[in-house]
Structure 1
Amino acid sequence: MNATPIRPGSNEHEELARLLPQPAERDLPSDRHRQLQEFVMNHIQQDLRQGTRNPRRSPRRLAYLTSAVAAVAVAAVAVGTGTFGGAGTSVTSGGGASTEPAPASASGRQILLAAATSAEKLPLDTRAYWYVKIVSTGSRNGESWLEETWTARDGRTWSRGSYQNPAAESASPPAFPEGKSDDKLIEVPQPSPFSLGGAKVTIEQLQAAPIEPTSLKAWIANLVRNSNIRTSAGKLTDAQQRQHVFEGLVSLVSLLPAPPSVRAAALRVIASYPNVTSLGPVDGGRGLLISFHPEESPARLVIDPQTGQLRRTNVLIPTFGGTLSNDGGTFAITAEWTNTLPQ
Structure 2
Amino acid sequence: MNDTTASASPERRDDREEIARLLPAPAERDLPREGHLRHKELLMRQIDRDRAASARPSRRLLRPALLVPVTALALAGVLAGGFALEGGDREAAAGTAPGTATDMRPVAALLREISGAAGRKAAPVVRDDQFVYTREKVREVDLTSGKAVVSPLKDYEKWIAQEPGPLKRLGLIRSDGETFPLNAELGDTNGTPAGFSRPTYQWLSSLPTDPAKLLDYLYARTPRVDRRERDQAVFEQIGELLGGVMPPRTAAALYEAAARIPGVTRTPQAWDATGRPGIGIARDDERNGVHTEWVFDRKDLSFLGYRSYLIKDAPYGRAGTLLSSTAQIRTAVVDKAGEEPPGTAGTRDDHTG
Give the alignment's TM-score, normalised by structure 1. Answer: 0.49
TM-score for both structures, normalised by structure 2: 0.47
Bigger-Rg structure (1/2):
1
Structure 1 or 2: more helix by fraction = 1
